[in-house]
Amino acid sequence: MGTAVDPEKGSLLRAAPRLLQVLRVLARRNFLRAMLGSRHWPPPKDVREAFEELGLVFLKFGQVLAMRRDLLPGAYIDELELLHDDLPAMGIDAVRATVEDELGTSLTELFSSFRETPLAAATIAQVHEATMHDGRHVAVKVQRPGLSAIIDTDIGALTYLVSLSERLFPRLRAFDLPVVVGEFATTLRRETDFSREARSMVLFRRALADIPDLWIPDVVTECSSRMVLTMEFSAGERVDHYAKLHPEAIPRPMNTLIKLMLQSIFEEGLFHADPHPGNVFVLPDGRLSLLDFGNTGELDEPMRESLILLLEAVVKGDAKAATEAYLEMAPAGGEDVNQATLLVDMKAVLFEMRRGELADLSIGDAFDSVVRAGSRNGVHNPGEFVLLTRAFVILESMIRQLAPDHDYMTSFREEISRLTAQHFSVARIKEKTTELARELERLINDAPGDTRRILGRIAEGNLGRVRAPALEALASRVSRNLELLAGAVALAALVVSGSMLLFSPMGGWHHLLGVTMIFGGISGMLLIRIGVWLRDRGRR
């Protein structure tokens, strides 16, 4: 009879040889001496070189740590930002074997031509230019073989190292390093699933189809799989190269980039998490081409609403509103959060921001400061918010590098105003009102029966199986009151919707409709109140 093995111990056993290699590298770079009690950590350059020497997973983890200014001192962050993931290209034999194993047929049957020299080579994959038999010009992204096994082994070793570090340094527990490693592992496995990347490309193409100055390549589904991704070829050039050749034309693609980022975030809950120059191209006709959707984020509607409130509070300098909006985004389990100190830190963050000109305000830096303030006070920062913060930092850094005279905040405010006007449109209000009406209808239909059943169970509960007519009469009255309450809530929603229209920046017929809705809602509530008064008078 076999002996059961603890999965965690089994994982550690599988990762043990790799763990020994990692420990040897860390010992050579003086990490172990610091972990065993020395107060002097290795110089930042040694830390970066250690991550590069340890390979794919640790190199990527170093890039993730470079985003977390709330975890490491600035000197280490600056050094880790220099990490690069360029690797020697795979040979054509390895590329051919991967493509043919994944797609089930020979390279020559799939493509009429296939360029052996890759266009780009990185840690996860490399890209080749090719032509389909029907004449389509495509780019083929081919994953390096054996990555899944490497990732599983290195994540096991990294998890053990983090656990060991927390035991040696209990103060590290405040940084939630196991959570950071878990989120990193999830992100890395997403990046190595090209099927997911293909789905993201399709979603972005649909969500941003109404932006005329944007082109996202389509996926060639029949030549794509988990390790191979074939897409339309982008004939443009990198945006940084384009900026050097056409400095007068660069504001157009920059405005398009801002527009697509904000529209995808606030309307669709999607965002490209890595908008650096290597993923942003400009086509010959001036349109923007966005590439590489392996690293994307998703925001649900509650988080989007909290994000909008946080943005408004940051621009207004309202520390209390910013703190509340930020805490609404944080995952559950914030019982250790020091809210009083967090509010003080938030006031300091917003004060520093308000000292400068509004045109110089950086959304990425603002979010980054909020993340750091939260970490200092026990907030578990949501991974998607950290990813979004990094995306804004990269975006703003690129804009200021390529178009230093471009007024980023003006474009930002214009796009926010457009999205606000769309948010207050009649169609949007009708959609929200319909959703509210459905919920109220469900409440009205279900509440009376639920109330009767609950009170009936009380009557027949622990006090014995005794009939309680008074309780049944109470249930009937409660049901009628619930129906009145539901009606009042619906009318109150009408008043709120009217107020939103009345105070919207659009004016005109929107204000007239808002006044009508407010008048109708208040009139309905008065009628309900008169009805209740007449009913009570009749009962007396």
pLDDT at 112: 95
Angstrom CA distances, 202 to 195, 260, 298, 430, stand at 11, 15, 14, 28
pLDDT at 427: 56
What domains can you pick out in the chain, each with its CATH number?
Answer: 7-85+151-188 (no CATH), 92-145+193-297 (1.10.510.10), 299-423 (no CATH), 426-539 (no CATH)
395 conformational bin, left if phi > 0, alpha if psi -120 to 50, beta if neither:
alpha
pLDDT at 449: 60
For the beta carbon of residue 214, count every other beta carbon within 10 angstroms: 21
Which residues, 6+ apart, have CB-to-CB distance to 229 below 8 Å? Answer: 140, 141, 194, 197, 198, 219
pLDDT at 212: 87
- Asked if 306 and 253 touch (Cβ cutoff 8 Å), the reply is no
pLDDT at 42: 79
Full pLDDT tens readout for the chain, 540 residues: 444 434 444 455 666 788 888 888 877 877 766 655 555 677 888 888 888 888 888 888 887 777 666 667 778 888 887 776 666 789 999 999 999 999 999 999 999 999 999 998 888 899 999 999 999 999 999 999 988 888 888 888 888 888 877 777 776 666 667 777 887 888 888 888 999 999 999 999 998 988 889 999 999 999 999 999 999 998 889 999 999 999 888 888 888 888 888 888 888 888 888 888 888 999 999 999 999 898 888 888 888 888 888 887 887 788 898 999 899 888 655 557 788 888 999 998 888 877 766 556 678 888 888 888 888 888 888 888 888 888 888 888 888 888 877 776 676 767 666 665 665 555 555 555 565 556 555 655 665 565 556 556 555 554 444 444 544 554 555 555 555 555 666 666 666 666 665 555 555 655 666 667 666 767 776 776 676 666 666 655
- Asked if 289 and 282 touch (Cβ cutoff 8 Å), the reply is yes
274 noted as active-site residue: yes
Which 3 state secondary structure label does DSSP give 259? helix
pLDDT at 359: 56
Given 176, 274, 292, 365, which residue is catalytic? Answer: 274
Which residues, 6+ apart, have CB-to-CB distance to 221 below 8 Å? Answer: 198
Whole-model pTM: value is: 0.69
Pairing outcome for strands 214-215 and 288-290: parallel
